[in-house]
Structure 1
Amino acid sequence: MASPLVARLAQLRSSARIAVEDERGQTTFAELMDRALRVRGALLAASAPRGAGERAEPASLEGERLLLLASPGAAWVAALLGTILAGGIALPLSPLYPPAELTWLAGDAGVRRVIVSDDLAALAAPLAQGRAVLRVEDLERAAPGPESALADLAEDDPALLLYTSGTTGKPKGALLTHRNLAVQAELLRAAWGFSEEDVLLHALPLHHMHGVCIALATSLLAGSATRMLPRFDAQRVAAEIARRSATVLMAVPTMYQRLFEHVDRGGAPGFAAGARALRLATSGSAALPVTLAERWRDLTGAIPLERFGMTEIGVGMSNPLDPGARRAGWVGAPLPTVEARITDDAGAAAGWAPGEERGQPGGAAVARGELWIRGPSVFKGYLGREDETRAAFQDGWFRTGDVAERSADGYFRLLGRTSVDILKSGGYKLSSLEIEETLRDHGAIAEVAVVGVPDEEWGERVVAVVVAAPGREAECATAPLRAWAKERLAPYKVPRDAIVVQALPRNAMGKVVKPELVKAIERGTLAGRSS
């Protein structure tokens, strides 16, 4: 079947409504689509064969992965859409990544071309070896390609590649199709009441499911305007809310914490009134502490709308749009077209099963176990990792790796990960194994275990527990270790604390018992020191 994403974008092409507002001004949907089609035309033209007088442009990039490294704004959106409309797969990455991580991701994805904005050209330099580097500004000046070929794009064609951490220690690229993106955007438009009258305040990262799909794509495909900020800055976001420049805020718990800290320092007069004027405030990417939810309720009269999502599934379940029906600490019920089940260790349905009596709202939990999801918004698979893709599914269900419980009336609450090696900090899902692998390159570290410690601000605080090489304990203290790690890891992956110990707790098989480490850190009884 034809791509529903392309069909929806075609409907917006002639709209004179504002699509994106950024630091350079306002861009209408018609202008945005014109820029996207010019990017498409340039990419197709550059892919045309050049031998024996042959110069016909290909109809599609046929799934070529293109890395996108550009600053937030209309140019970023045009490059993303242009790549997808050309039949390519967009791989957006963060400018905060160190060169080594950018290079690894580009290599793993098999990237041959990099799209970059002028202000980030220096960051793309390490990627230039063996790859073409294309300026967004040049692509937008090209002639649009033939639009007839757009009809050839199909719903199952991959459109987006987002990297997510896994238990292998290295990130995995999740492939999302045209259908995945269109279905997800429509589900959230209906569930969260998006309309052409909305303005989304967007300060989320643009290499992440939350920022690209849940926020931007939902707003864009609903015909809403998106006010894109260069980055999250509590002072700037609080000021935007105070002056009522938007109707919707999407954030992660750490952002809410930073906003409250700014307000507590006396910043942003009018913030409370502006927050109350928001039509909707959502929280995701990590569990929202009840204390933060209740403080937002004290400020605005309603807790933020919390939901459950993953790179592989988008948003699978959500609290209701009605503020009075939301439950702090719960992620709500499955969205239409999404099926959810709680399973036991053998993969069988645990407790209540679909079709049985659900009981009364707010009833006690009737099932607890691993959460499985299926539906049309679930991803296509991991790029180049067929074994891991097969392992992630069972009988058509995606195994989320999250432990959850379901109430008698069908609401879900997340209890944690089935693997202690997957952490959620500041809205990001991180692999402790990946961080450990990097830290082991430090000459002063003999052994290391990275764990997530429950933290109200971060969701989980990333802590490195280190056995130092003889006489090199000082190099493993928090400050010097963080400085070293910042040169090799994205900022949100850098451990917040380092604790030096004599030995790591291990079981009979020699495996580090991480739950013991977490409990000892929480109790303050871990033998060692941090600084």
Structure 2
Amino acid sequence: MIQLIQRAQAFRQRPAISTGEMEISYAQLLQRSERLARALLGGNPDLNEARIAFLVAPGIDYVTLQWGIWRAGGIAVPLCVKHPLPSLRHVIEDAGALFVVYGPEFEETLQPLFGLEDTVFVAVGDLEQGSGQSLPEVAPDRRAMILYTSGTTGKPKGVVTTHANIEASIRSLVDAWRWSEDDRILNILPLHHVHGIVNVLCCALWSGACCEFLPQFSPEAVFARFATGRINLFMAVPTIYYKLIAHYRELPADQQQRISRALRDFRLMVSGSAALPVSVLETWREISDHTLLERYGMTEMGMAISNPYSGERRPGYIGQPLRGVEVRLVDEDDAPVAEGQPGEIQVKGDNVFREYWNRPEATAAAFTPDGWFRTGDIAVWEDGAYRILGRNSVDIIKSGGYKISALEIEEVLRKHPAVRECAVVGLPDEEWGEVIGASLIVAGPEPDLQSLTEWLRERLPGYKLPRRYIFQDDLPRNVMGKVTKQELKQYFA
């Protein structure tokens, strides 16, 4: 049996999943997922890695369906509840889904696709009745899940992970972040992404903890759950922390004090999936007395690097490699760089994905000849920790022979009193290769650009100063809150 599901036997009477309105135990989760597995099998002995896509709201149905697919020997392909129809169609067709299982609230969304050949669309409620057949033995090296990349640098690719890959990720995080059965975490993250699925949901269920879901995100609802005193763990993206801070500032002083008292009792708070602005980290620390734990990972490998659970967490640093993960920094020829020099992060370990679905050339290109996964992210090793500089394709700007970190410039811009949020990109230029462009979201009237440039000149060398500016009401983002910089570049055109 899959180790994650086998472990649930030890926690049968403990609460597993809560939605606020309903809570089920591990015993009920096992029973429900077994029925769903039998329904998916339909009398067959094994799904044999058939792809089962599903569009189901976060909560009890999502988890029981995920486990049911795994227990039947299938590959889980979670769909994003916020994606438009063309994006959903791409995933369903690219994965070659045998079934698409959907919640009732998504029937109208999917209806235009009901005629797709070789794919059966079925409501999750119609899978409740399964026969009494035995379930297949599922080996650790079986493919377990296909998650699709965000597509920020090209068409989304299906990232295939095995049960062994997922288990390796879970084990390293449970060890690093000291999960226990006494934990209760609020999960508000999208469940088509490794952050919400593995870091939160799977780690909680591996540990015998309870994973609680909200029907819909709002700062008010999140703070209300925090105020109950039952939640002791929270993981989110920087955009969520930014929204929580903005709402907190609007509250009366007595409500702020009540929330801050509740937050101080938390065991751990984590930020990931995008670079955490230092200003957000510092403000959240003032509110909660917690220094957010930053970590580094991606769809292809889960988590690879993390700041320590106990010990110093420095703003702008992502920490050290997790247990069982090897990390190196290399130059453009895959040669290791000296300490203090920037290089591409490359990773080895049981956590690294198996392949891109039906893309052997892309899979081969993602690895070095000696088996290191090329992340495409640039970092530097300083004073015993990694500091992330950005993604090679969008966050490293090559201008006049310099390699410039867009994230560094963004951090400085956010300290200007008029700048509420910003994003920096490289724009094509005949003379310089690229010039620096900055999109600003400001509080109040637009600042004088000459004065802004003089302010920046006191804090940055001349070659790091933006040459072009635009002002926007908001930045283009994907569902994880990450700025889509390729899209942002089009606004400058």
Normalising to structure 2: TM-score of the pair? 0.81
| SS of alignment partner, residue 122 of structure 1 | helix
Match of 2:345 among 361, 371, 377: 371
Please say if 1:526 is aligned against 2:468: yes
Residue equivalent to 1:106:
92
- Which whole-Å deviations, capped at 9, do the CAs of 1:110-149 have from their partners, x for residues lacking one? 12310111222212212311221122122133345413x2
Q: Distance in 2 between matches of 1:16 and 1:404?
A: 45
Q: Distance in 2 between matches of 1:85 and 1:461?
A: 44
Q: CA shift at 1:167, angstroms?
A: 7.0
Mind listing any 5+ residue stretches in structure 1 that lack a counterpart? 46-56, 353-365, 424-450, 466-503
Residue equivalent to 1:213:
198
Listed as ranges, the matches of 1:414-453 within 5 Å are 414-420=388-394
Match of 2:52 among 47, 59, 66: 66
- Greater CA drift, 62-71 or 116-125: 116-125
Kept in 2, the 8 Å contact 1:203–1:228? The answer is yes
Q: Distance in 2 between matches of 1:167 and 1:264?
A: 33
Kept in 2, the 8 Å contact 1:167–1:422? The answer is no
Match of 1:116 among 87, 102, 122: 102
Kept in 1, the 8 Å contact 2:439–2:472? The answer is no
Q: Distance in 2 between matches of 1:132 and 1:459?
A: 45
Kept in 1, the 8 Å contact 2:436–2:468? The answer is yes
Listed as ranges, the matches of 1:485-500 within 5 Å are none
Q: Distance in 2 between matches of 1:227 and 1:416?
A: 32
Residue equivalent to 2:176:
191
Listed as ranges, the matches of 1:46-445 within 5 Å are 57-130=43-116, 131-143=119-131, 145-147=133-135, 149-150=136-137, 153-166=138-151, 169-266=154-251, 268-269=255-256, 270-322=258-310, 324-352=311-339, 366-394=340-368, 395-409=370-384, 411-420=385-394
Residue equivalent to 2:22:
25
Kept in 1, the 8 Å contact 2:59–2:213? The answer is yes
Q: Distance in 1 between matches of 2:467 and 2:132?
A: 64
| SS of alignment partner, residue 139 of structure 2 | coil
- Which whole-Å deviations, capped at 9, do the CAs of 1:335-364 have from their partners, x for residues lacking one? 111000010111011115xxxxxxxxxxxx
Match of 2:4 among 8, 27, 38: 8
Q: Judging changes above 3 Å, is the alpha-carbon distance between structure 1 residues 18 and 530 closer, same or farther for their aligned structure 2 residues?
A: closer
- Which whole-Å deviations, capped at 9, do the CAs of 1:93-116 have from their partners, x for residues lacking one? 112111121112211111231011
Q: CA shift at 1:518, angstroms?
A: 2.3
Kept in 1, the 8 Å contact 2:437–2:466? The answer is no
| SS of alignment partner, residue 171 of structure 2 | helix
Q: Distance in 2 between matches of 1:328 and 1:168?
A: 27
Question: 1:412 corresponds to which letter in structure 2?
Answer: Y
Q: Distance in 1 between matches of 2:438 and 2:472?
A: 16
Kept in 2, the 8 Å contact 1:289–1:459? The answer is no
| SS of alignment partner, residue 190 of structure 1 | helix
Normalising to structure 1: TM-score of the pair? 0.75
Please say if 1:44 is aligned against 2:41: yes
Kept in 1, the 8 Å contact 2:318–2:386? The answer is yes
Q: CA shift at 1:420, angstroms?
A: 2.0
- Which whole-Å deviations, capped at 9, do the CAs of 1:185-212 have from their partners, x for residues lacking one? 1111111111000001110111111111
Question: 1:384 corresponds to which letter in structure 2?
Answer: N
| SS of alignment partner, residue 295 of structure 1 | helix
Question: 1:118 corresponds to which letter in structure 2?
Answer: P
Q: Distance in 1 between matches of 2:394 and 2:30?
A: 44
Mind listing any 5+ residue stretches in structure 2 that lack a counterpart? 398-405, 441-452, 454-464, 474-493
- Runs of at least 4 residues of structure 1 off by over 6 A? 457-460, 520-524, 527-531
What RMSD in Å do the two structures reach over aligned CA positions?
2.8
Q: Distance in 1 between matches of 2:146 and 2:202?
A: 14
Q: Distance in 1 between matches of 2:105 and 2:243?
A: 27
Kept in 1, the 8 Å contact 2:161–2:353? The answer is yes
Kept in 1, the 8 Å contact 2:36–2:127? The answer is yes
| Percent identity for Structure 1 against Structure 2 | 36
Question: 2:70 corresponds to which letter in structure 1?
Answer: I
| SS of alignment partner, residue 316 of structure 2 | coil
Q: CA shift at 1:530, angstroms?
A: 6.4
Count of matched residue pairs: 428
- Greater CA drift, 213-222 or 371-380: 213-222
| SS of alignment partner, residue 374 of structure 1 | strand
Q: Distance in 1 between matches of 2:342 and 2:207?
A: 36
